[in-house]
Amino acid sequence: MNKDDIENLLNEIKIVTAKEITIRNEKEKRGENFNIFNTIGISTSEVNLHSAIISELLNPQGSHGLNDLFLKSFINILLKHRPIKEFETKDAIVKTEFSIGPVTESSGGRIDIIIKSKDACIIIENKIYAGDVPEQILRYYNYAKEDPDIDKFAIIYLTLDGHEPSEESLGKDLKEKKDSYITLSYKQDILSWLKECISIAVMKPLVRETLFQYINIIKNLTHTDMEDGILKELLDKATSNENLDATFAILENKEKICEQIRRNFFEELRIIAKNKGLELYCDEKVTSLEKGQGIQFYKSENSKWAIDIGCDTPSDGYYYGITERRSMNPTITKEQFNKLDAIWEKPETDYPFGHKYCDEPWDSWDNINILKDMSRGRDSKLADYIEKNIINDKVIELLNKLEEITKEQ
């Protein structure tokens, strides 16, 4: 394999993806790209969208007006993984954010979705981008096991791709009990179920159209939104004998490609910062999303104050705020800071000032959709968000005030 092989493959794929772009543009002209969930900015919200809509569909008393038909369909998918005999769907009760008491090492917490019916229950731990919580699955398992009213139960660990829960989430007691939970994926299981739901709701146009929109959200999150015919053509090109070596070379270097996309993005941010009279500090470790890393914008090397964007771990989400560059003990208090022009939110702690998590979907930088939004040059959606919301003129003015207030300290 040589350089030409990779270039040839990329050129062939570029032709295929151009067809996909044309199809999407035609859909946009017809209004088919309209999606209310994207419009109101909740496409990645576990609680406000995914748990809410799934629980409503599963609820026999739900506003969809189809009684327990959606729930029965879901149970059939579940039965492929593990039988739950005699689960009475007609009078089932479905709740979200269901409290099972104060959190300890082995009990308590809030269940994302719970479906109860007579002596049986189904517990769903719903994960979009959030990381695992210690002993989470173990605590839910203990709740179902110890409740005298529950005879049969299933715990579902639902993620975009169907991966296993972490050992931390399982706890030492469940680490070896692979039959104590079921893994389901949005990519296959939920999409399959929703397609069945569309067939069930064929005579309910509002329900049906909502399902179509929700399916499009999931396809986007799971990177399965390419048209079937275009996807087949892409796969044929990538797996043909003459292109296989080039395809393997790309797959083997996937992480390095992602790192380079982030590196290019940070260079775009550097240009934006320069145009605003700021400098950008970016640790090389940020490109690989190592924990505890971040980037800073400041006026000059001698500046005491900076706009900081960072994370504790990438899965926890990125936050931003005003920080003192060379001190973990700021020379002014939050009370003094609050007397200045308000930005973002009033800080609850002394450090960093104005601490706030990035809005969805910008709070997570470790998925393919964010990489797409990082890699559009000066049209980058993420760069535009940072420029307008995090390093805007008002915040830069605040940096200047802080420098003036503390210059003698």
The predicted pLDDT at position 327 comes to 67
Give the strand pairing for 294-298 and 305-310: antiparallel
Number of helical (H) and strand (E) elements in the chain, helices listed first? 15, 10
33 is written with which tokens? Answer: 């790209």
Residue 204 in contact with residue 170, Cβ under 8 Å?
Answer: no
Number of domains in the chain: 3
pLDDT band at residue 275, thresholds of 50, 70 and 90?
A: very high
Do 190 and 310 belong to one domain?
no
Q: 300-334, pLDDT tens digit by residue? A: 888 888 998 888 776 667 888 888 887 666 677 76
Residue 390 in contact with residue 341, Cβ under 8 Å?
Answer: no
Q: 122-136, pLDDT tens digit by residue? A: 999 999 877 788 899
The predicted pLDDT at position 58 comes to 97
The predicted pLDDT at position 190 comes to 95
Q: Which residues, 6 or more positions from 94, have their beta carbon under 8 angstroms from its beta carbon?
A: 55, 58, 59, 60, 62, 71, 113, 114, 115, 116
3-state secondary structure 84-153: CCCCCCCCCEEEEEEECCCCCCCCCCEEEEEEEECCEEEEEEECCCCCCCCCHHHHHHHHHHHCCCCCEE
Give yes or no for residue 47 having a pLDDT over 90.
no
Range of the domain at 22: 3-32+227-252
The predicted pLDDT at position 14 comes to 86
Give yes or no for residue 379 having a pLDDT over 90.
no
Do 369 and 339 belong to one domain?
yes
Give yes or no for residue 267 having a pLDDT over 80.
yes
Give yes or no for residue 204 having a pLDDT over 80.
yes
Q: 134-172, pLDDT tens digit by residue? A: 899 999 999 999 999 898 899 999 999 898 998 888 888
Mean of per-residue pLDDT scores for the chain: 86
Asked if the bond preceding 352 is cis, omega within 30° of 0, the reply is yes
Do 358 and 292 belong to one domain?
yes
b/e code 40-63 from CB counts within 10 Å (16+ = b) = eebbbbbeebbbbbbbbbbbbebe
Do 397 and 369 belong to one domain?
yes
The predicted model scores a pTM of 0.70
How many Å apart are CA 209 and CA 199, to the nearest integer? Answer: 12
Do 61 and 159 belong to one domain?
yes
Do 210 and 136 belong to one domain?
yes
| Range picked from 57-71, 224-238, 341-355 for highest mean pLDDT | 57-71
